[in-house]
Structure 1
Amino acid sequence: MRVIAWLVEGTWPACVDAVREHTPAGAEVVLLHVSGPEVPGVAHGAFAGLLGRGRRNDPGDLMETLNDGSAAELLAAAAERLGRPCVREERSGRVEREVVAAAEGADLLVLARDGDHTRLGPHSLGPASRFTVDHAPCPVLLVWPDRAPSLRTLPPPPPH
Structure 2
Amino acid sequence: MAVVVWITEGTWPACVDAVRTHAPAGGEVVLLHVSGDDVPGVAHGAFAGLLGRGRPERDPGTRLEGLATTSGRQLLAAAADRLGRTCTCLERTGRVEREVVAAAEGADLLVLARDGDRTHLGPRSLGPAGRFVVDHAPCPVLLVWPEPAPGVGTIPPGPPRPPLHR
**SS of the counterpart of 1:130?**
helix
Number of equivalences:
160
**SS of the counterpart of 1:106?**
coil
Give the corresponding residue for 1:159.
160
Give the corresponding residue for 2:29.
29
Give the corresponding residue for 1:4.
4
Give, in whole Å, the separation in 1 of the partners of 2:64 and 2:133.
26
Structure-to-structure mapping, 1:128-147, within 5 angstroms: 128-147=129-148
Give, in whole Å, the separation in 2 of the partners of 1:10 and 1:85.
23
**SS of the counterpart of 2:116?**
coil
Give the corresponding residue for 2:164.
none
Q: Which ranges of 4 or more aligned residues in structure 1 deviate by more than 4 Å?
A: none
With the length of structure 1 as denominator, give the TM-score of the two structures: 0.97
State whether structure 2 residue 66 is matched by structure 1 residue 92: no
CA drift at 1:126: 0.7
Give the corresponding residue for 2:48.
48
Ranges in structure 1 where 5+ consecutive residues have no aligned partner: none
**SS of the counterpart of 1:101?**
helix
| Cα-to-partner distance string for 1:88-118 (whole Å, 9 max, x where unaligned) | 0011111111111111111100000010010
What amino acid does structure 1 have at the position aligned with 2:111? Answer: V
State whether structure 2 residue 27 is matched by structure 1 residue 18: no
CA drift at 1:50: 1.6
Rg larger in 1 or in 2? Answer: 2
| Cα-to-partner distance string for 1:13-71 (whole Å, 9 max, x where unaligned) | 11001000111111100000011111111111111122112333211111111111111
**SS of the counterpart of 1:63?**
helix
Give, in whole Å, the separation in 1 of the partners of 2:50 and 2:12.
36
Give the corresponding residue for 2:81.
80
Residue identity over aligned pairs, in percent, reads 74
Ranges in structure 2 where 5+ consecutive residues have no aligned partner: 162-166
What amino acid does structure 1 have at the position aligned with 2:65? Answer: E
Give, in whole Å, the separation in 2 of the partners of 1:62 and 1:157.
48
With the length of structure 2 as denominator, give the TM-score of the two structures: 0.94
Give the corresponding residue for 1:66.
67
Give the corresponding residue for 2:114.
113
